[in-house]
Each structure stands twice: as C-alpha cells, then as structure tokens.
C-alpha cells in the first residue's frame, strides 16, 4: 500500500467516476483502475462496486477512503511543516470562510496578510458552515473562519471580533425615521431571511425570537445581495452584518440602515483549526492579523454610498 494508491481511492470517492478521478489525479483511466484493483487485492476486500453507469464505493471502501483522507492530510501537514521550517512564513494554507462574511471581510484583511506573509499562498474556499466543519474534520481544509458557537471538541477556537447587525429598511418604512433601535421596536415585524443552511439565518431567527418578530412568509434569499435588493424593492426589511454595508460594497438605492442601541445584536467571529494540527503557532499569527481590523468597520457610520459626486444611495439613521 502506498500514498499514491490511497490518493486514487480518495479521488474515486469524490468523483464516483473512473475517468474524472483519473483526470483529477493526472493519470490515465486504465492506470487508476489497475491501481485500485491492486489495492483491493492487497487488502483482500472489495472497495468499489462497478456498475455500467456509475461507480459506488462499498461500505468498507467508504470507510477506508475516509481514513485515507486523514492520512493524506497528515502527509500534507508534514510537508508543510518541513517547508515552514525552511521558511516559516511560506507554504500553502487552505482556509474556509462562509458566504455572508467572506466577500465583506476579505477586502479588509487580504492586503494586511500579503504584507505580513508575502510568500504565503492562501487558498480560500467559500462554503456554508456545516460544510466547512466537515472539511476541517476530514482534513481537506487547514482552518476556517466561522461564527460562534461551534460545538466540536476536536477544534481549537480563536476569537477574532464581534460584528453588530444593522436593520435595513426601505425609505418609506415607518422604522426609517427612528434613531437607534431598541429590540422591542422589531416586535411584530416580519423580516426577510436567508434560506436554510446559512448561519446568518439562525442568528437572525434568534434576534427575531428575542424581539418578538417573525419571518416574512413565502420568501427566502440565497445571498445577502438578494436581501438587499428586496429591501430596495420595498418587499420588506432585514438584518445585515455591518461589514456588508461598508466600502467597497456597492449599495442599492432606497435602503436605510439603522443601528441598534447597546447591546446591539451581533455575531461573534472566530478562526478554527484542528487541535491536532502542528501549525498552531502559525495559525495564531494568522489570526492575529485578521483580528487587527479597524474598529470603524464595525460601526454602520461611513457605510457605502453611491458613486462619487452623487447623493448617497443609502441613508444611515443615527441619533
């Protein structure tokens, strides 16, 4: 048994097709098929069910492929450790981040990361929270940036920052002329929310529960940008994280942003990695750079406006 054959099995588990697995492994299909058969002969068990239309792994094959991912991940970490020993701030890091944070945080931290770690290759993967956690456990990601709480004893949690929410309403909405909102101001309001699977949906539902608000029926968005456009179109109101209303984000017209009184509803953001990882000191340094973002990014004041020389497309209501 060798690492190459294990990588072929993992590729087959991911693609469920000999041709696509071979292409991903940069070998011919006959080569990959032959090596899988040799691995089956060596182990004395069937790993693959070969059908005319698709490839299925046996139960044993799935379990071995799962463990093989862990082995290959550990090998990658060994190589990374050796590389980092020669040059501590170089190498490749696979970082997961969820969709309602990635596009809004990264423009503010990537320049600082490039300056601090000029030889670092940062491979970013945008996925929903549960997929990032799965990939961390499987070893296909080195670290992830997620909203707390995360309940997994195998992962180390490094707190980064707390991001408040603001309320986005159309200009004609009764709440548009409020000063800072109190939670009870949301009572009996129905908010536009994201679809299932987004952690922001769960956070917004928690705010709704505390405030006595509900969800607007018949609509669930796939992104923050859809929510923003629905507010602009007078469909309803929604919660937005403050990073999503800061430059360089382009805003929509007819949207008023209202801050909450303290303590404002918010989400806590952290960087997570496996406790077993040998790269903990480096991840701590990486987290330190991400934590050092300007405090003004977490206030809705100075939110994104329209084009230069034009009136603001977004009104911010404050005291």
Residue 313 lies in a domain: no
Domain containing 153: what range? 89-302
Claim to verify: residue 156 and residue 177 sit in the same structural domain = yes
Predicted confidence (pLDDT) at residue 310 exceeds the cutoff of 60: no
Claim to verify: residue 227 and residue 180 sit in the same structural domain = yes
Q: What share of the chain is helix, strand, coil (3-state, %, to 5)?
A: 45, 20, 35
Most confident of the ranges 77-81, 98-102, 170-174, 211-215: 98-102
Name the β-bridge partners of 146: 270
Residue 295: pLDDT band by 50, 70, 90 thresholds? Answer: confident
Tens digits of residue pLDDT in 38-53: 999 999 999 998 877 7
Residue 310 lies in a domain: no
Claim to verify: residue 241 and residue 140 sit in the same structural domain = yes
Judged by average pLDDT, the poorest of 21-25, 78-82, 185-189, 272-276 is: 78-82
Predicted confidence (pLDDT) at residue 314 exceeds the cutoff of 60: no
Residue 232 lies in a domain: yes
pLDDT computed for residue 88 by the predictor:
58
Claim to verify: residue 17 and residue 98 sit in the same structural domain = no
Number of domains in the chain: 2
pLDDT computed for residue 65 by the predictor:
94
Most confident of the ranges 8-17, 175-184, 304-313: 8-17
| CA neighbor of 259 nearest in space, from 298, 222, 218 | 298
Strand (E) positions, 80-180? 91-97, 120-126, 143-147, 155-169
Claim to verify: residue 99 and residue 78 sit in the same structural domain = no
pLDDT computed for residue 84 by the predictor:
66
Residue 316 lies in a domain: no
> CATH no. for residue 294?
3.40.190.290
Judged by average pLDDT, the poorest of 22-26, 82-86, 177-181, 200-204 is: 82-86
- What are the residues whose beta carbons fall under 8 Å from the beta carbon of 39, sequence distance 6 or more? 1, 5, 6, 8, 9, 47
Domain boundary among 51, 82, 113: 82
What's the chain's average pLDDT?
86
Domain boundary among 53, 82, 111: 82
pLDDT computed for residue 304 by the predictor:
42
Handedness of CA 34, 35, 40, 46 (dihedral sign): negative
> CATH no. for residue 72?
1.10.10.10
Residue 263: pLDDT band by 50, 70, 90 thresholds? Answer: confident
pLDDT computed for residue 303 by the predictor:
53
Tens digits of residue pLDDT in 112-130: 999 999 988 899 999 999 9
Claim to verify: residue 25 and residue 168 sit in the same structural domain = no
Domain boundary among 82, 103, 125: 82
Claim to verify: residue 148 and residue 229 sit in the same structural domain = yes
Residue 21 lies in a domain: yes
Q: Percent of the chain having pLDDT more than 70?
A: 92
HSE toward the beta carbon, residue 91, CA cutoff 13 A? 21
């Amino acid at each position: 048994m060798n690492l190459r054959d294990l990588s072929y099995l993992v590729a087959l588990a991911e693609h469920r097709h000999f041709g696509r697995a071979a292409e991903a492994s940069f070998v011919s299909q006959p080569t990959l098929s032959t090596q899988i058969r040799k691995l089956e002969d060596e182990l004395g068990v069937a790993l693959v069910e070969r059908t005319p239309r698709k490839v299925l792994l046996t139960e044993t094959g799935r379990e071995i492929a799962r463990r093989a991912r862990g082995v290959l991940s550990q090998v990658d970490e060994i190589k990374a450790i050796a590389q980092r020993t020669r040059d501590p701030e170089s190498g490749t890091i696979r970082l997961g981040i969820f969709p309602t944070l990635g596009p809004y945080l990264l423009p503010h931290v990537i320049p600082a990361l490039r300056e601090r770690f000029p030889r670092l290759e940062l491979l970013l993967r945008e996925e929903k929270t549960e997929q990032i956690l799965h990939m961390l456990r499987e070893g296909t990601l080195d670290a992830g940036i997620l909203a707390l709480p995360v309940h997994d004893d195998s992962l180390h949690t490094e707190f980064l920052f707390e991001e408040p929410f603001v309320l986005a309403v159309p200009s004609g909405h009764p709440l548009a002329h409020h000063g800072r909102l109190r939670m009870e101001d949301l009572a009996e309001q129905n908010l536009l929310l994201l679809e299932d699977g987004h952690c922001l949906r769960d956070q917004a539902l928690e705010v709704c529960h505390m405030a006595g608000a509900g969800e607007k029926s018949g609509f669930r968005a796939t992104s923050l940008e859809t929510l923003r456009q629905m507010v602009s179109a007078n469909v309803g109101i929604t919660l937005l994280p403050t990073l999503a209303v800061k430059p360089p984000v382009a805003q929509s017209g007819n949207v008023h942003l209202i801050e909450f009184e303290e303590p404002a509803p918010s989400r806590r953001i952290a960087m997570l990695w496996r406790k077993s990882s040998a790269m903990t000191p480096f991840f701590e340094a990486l987290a330190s750079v991400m934590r050092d973002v300007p405090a003004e990014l977490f206030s809705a004041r100075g939110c994104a406006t329209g084009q230069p020389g034009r009136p603001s497309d977004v009104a911010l209501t404050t005291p």
